[in-house]
Amino acid sequence: MSTETPLKQNSKELTINVSERDVDDLRTRLQAQLRYYYSRRLFVHDVTFEPEIDHLSVTVGITYPQDVTGSRGGENVLKMVNIGNVKTFTAESIGEDYFKIELPSRTDLHSAYQQRHKEMLNELDWSMAKAIYSRVYELNPVRNQLNSLIEIVNWVRRKENLTVDQISNEQTSKNSEKYISVLKELGFLKVEDGVVSHGRKIDSADLKELSRKQYEKHVIGEIVNDGYYTLREDLGLGMLSHFPKYANAYYISAIRRGTTDLWLSVDDLRENLRVEYGREEGRLKVEDKLRQLDKVGVIDYENGEVSGHSNIFRQIKKDSPSFA
């Protein structure tokens, strides 16, 4: 057994002796030293050590506390939230059972944490959008923003040999061609020589013999499910994540607490919007959103307090295990 110092560090690099070849021991030693250099909020998410090919890498995460006590009394509950897979450091073999890791700056690590946190929130918002689209679809702001998509689907379903130009001329939106292109990529439309016809996913929906209202909800739900990021980012349909954010201001705490029996105040939700999403929202605005979400059965809102619904809770928890 080596008697040399197993771990050395200067301001920009860390050197570790791996002669004992024990991954659990490596994890412990690496976490202790990386915490010393960066923050006690850092944890080692994973260590990969393959001595036969001189490979060593360590993936780190960041943890932070969230108060999920609730607004109706009871004991205080503090949940430590782990944001894993923030950054992977790959070590370089320097011989004699030593590896060297170049350490990024604290600023770089913080930026990586922010990016990973954002990715996780995007996944959570997508999960919520899928869970509640058929409910918030009834809200005017959402229907108005999705109206151009609804029109295109209904027109193409109803009338044969429509051209891209005809649809663009009929619509007030300037994005008709982009909508058609996205719906084609997602399999809802076919476009040949400028003529638009329904694709396999519309044909599949037709087989279900739904009413017009049910049909619209079904198809729009599939479009949201398949094209959430494209519609939101490339076409600017912000309503697809607008209401999910406000819903998740409640459900993110419910998931971490593990129950929808949790009641939160409006100010609790405002704090979640600030901490998780970086949004400073006024109380009156948040109350308006909560009333709308309560109206369509996404949350229960009464006397300035919010609770959730078990069916939505179960789906979000299933689709977003990283937030549990």
Render pLDDT for 44-76 as a digit per residue (tens, 0 to 9): 999 999 999 999 999 999 999 988 899 987 788
Co-location of 310 and 226 in the same domain? no
Q: Is residue 30 part of a domain?
A: yes
Number of structural domains, the chain? Answer: 3
Co-location of 255 and 268 in the same domain? yes
Mean per-residue pLDDT over the chain, rounded: 90
* pLDDT exceeds 60 at position 97: yes
In the chain, the amino acid numbered 29 is R
Name the pTM for this structure.
0.84
Co-location of 226 and 260 in the same domain? no
Beta bridge partners of 79: 66
Strands ordered across the beta sheet of 42-50:
42-50, 55-67, 78-90
Co-location of 51 and 67 in the same domain? yes
Q: Which of 217, 234, 251 is the last residue of a domain?
A: 234
Q: Is residue 63 part of a domain?
A: yes
Co-location of 156 and 227 in the same domain? yes
Q: Is residue 114 part of a domain?
A: no
Co-location of 219 and 269 in the same domain? no
* CA dist., res. 313 & res. 324, Å (int): 11
CB 266 within 8 Å of CB 274: no
Co-location of 141 and 225 in the same domain? yes
Give the residue from 166, 129, 130, 167 showing the smallest Cα distance to 150.
167
* CA dist., res. 167 & res. 165, Å (int): 5
Nearest-Å Rg of the Cα atoms of the chain is 25
Co-location of 211 and 244 in the same domain? no
Residue-level pLDDT at 9: 52
Render pLDDT for 6-55 as a digit per residue (tens, 0 to 9): 445 555 889 999 987 788 999 999 999 999 999 999 999 999 999 999 99
Beta bridge partners of 87: 60
What's the N-to-C CA distance of the chain in angstroms?
A: 41
Co-location of 216 and 246 in the same domain? no
Render pLDDT for 171-180 as a digit per residue (tens, 0 to 9): 988 889 999 9
Residue-level pLDDT at 6: 46
Render pLDDT for 219-260 as a digit per residue (tens, 0 to 9): 888 998 899 989 888 888 888 889 999 999 999 999 999 888
Render pLDDT for 279-305 as a digit per residue (tens, 0 to 9): 999 999 999 999 999 999 999 999 999
Residue-level pLDDT at 174: 87
Q: Which of 234, 266, 286 is the last residue of a domain?
A: 234
CA distances for 277 relative to 121, 146, 241, angstroms: 8, 24, 12
* CA dist., res. 62 & res. 83, Å (int): 5
Q: Is residue 130 part of a domain?
A: no
Render pLDDT for 83-92 as a digit per residue (tens, 0 to 9): 999 999 999 9
Q: Is residue 110 part of a domain?
A: no
Q: Which of 234, 266, 294 is the last residue of a domain?
A: 234
Q: Is residue 113 part of a domain?
A: no
Co-location of 141 and 227 in the same domain? yes
Co-location of 218 and 143 in the same domain? yes
Domain that residue 267 falls in: 239-323
Residue-level pLDDT at 111: 94
Q: Which residues contact 173 (CB under 8 A, 6 or more apart)?
A: 148, 179
Q: Is residue 127 part of a domain?
A: no
**CATH code assigned at 245:** 1.10.10.10
Co-location of 82 and 26 in the same domain? yes
Q: Is residue 125 part of a domain?
A: no
